[in-house]
């Protein structure tokens, strides 16, 4: 039996990538969001932030009996520092330049919630970029304008196809939703 045959699945995210991934999993869903303060204590362990924000988003959204809510947040971590969504193109350039030729981490936190039960989990992927020339960074920013993406890049576009040379973890986690883990955790609501 599928989760969407038991619950009305609600995705608490405006991310087109998360919607795409849920659809590819064959899970019928609708979208419901609330504006949420995404601040966090800067002293917090960077690997706890995504889960904290996913839970914060979940708590802001009202659900009713028969609904299951999925919220998620992804952060890019380099040198124990979170590279969030860049405030402008200059910061986006700086982020990508710092990641060039190096390894960084993508941590996605997920909260699943019904009226009776809540499950939290997160998944970390390690991503290695080959060196990226300044002209390539500028071309990427001009063509893809990644200001809405943590760390200033999307794994599914040019930079992922041309400059990611190694991944330890799952590709979908880097896109913003660790689908294999999500599927496994959703089964707990069926069994």
| Residues taking part in catalysis | 73
- The beta strands (E) that lie in 51-96 are given as 67-78, 81-83
3-state secondary structure 10-41: EECCCCHHHHHHHHHCCCCCEECCCCCCCCCC
Cβ-based neighbours of 50, under 8 Å, separated by 6 or more? 72, 73, 74, 75, 107, 108, 109, 122
- Are the C-beta atoms of residues 39 and 16 closer than 8 Å to each other? no
Other beta carbons less than 10 A from residue 171's beta carbon: 15
For the chain, what's the residue count? 191
């Amino acid at each position: 039996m599928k989760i969407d045959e038991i619950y009305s699945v609600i995705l608490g995210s405006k991310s087109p990538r998360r919607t795409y991934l849920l659809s590819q999993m064959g899970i019928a869903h609708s979208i419901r969001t609330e504006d949420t303060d995404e601040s966090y204590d800067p002293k917090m362990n960077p690997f706890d932030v995504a889960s904290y924000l996913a839970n914060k988003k979940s708590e802001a959204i009202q659900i009713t009996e028969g609904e299951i809510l999925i919220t998620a947040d992804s952060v890019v971590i380099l040198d124990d520092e979170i590279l969030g969504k860049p405030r402008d193109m200059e910061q986006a350039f700086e982020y990508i330049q710092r990641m060039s030729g190096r390894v960084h981490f993508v941590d996605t936190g997920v909260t699943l919630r019904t009226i009776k039960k809540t499950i939290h989990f997160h998944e970390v992927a390690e991503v290695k970029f080959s060196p990226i020339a300044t002209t390539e960074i500028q071309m990427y920013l001009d063509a893809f304008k990644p200001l809405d993406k943590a760390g200033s890049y999307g794994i599914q576009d040019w930079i992922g196809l041309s400059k990611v040379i190694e991944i330890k973890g799952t590709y979908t986690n880097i896109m913003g939703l660790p689908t294999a883990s999500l599927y496994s955790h959703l089964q707990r609501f069926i069994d």
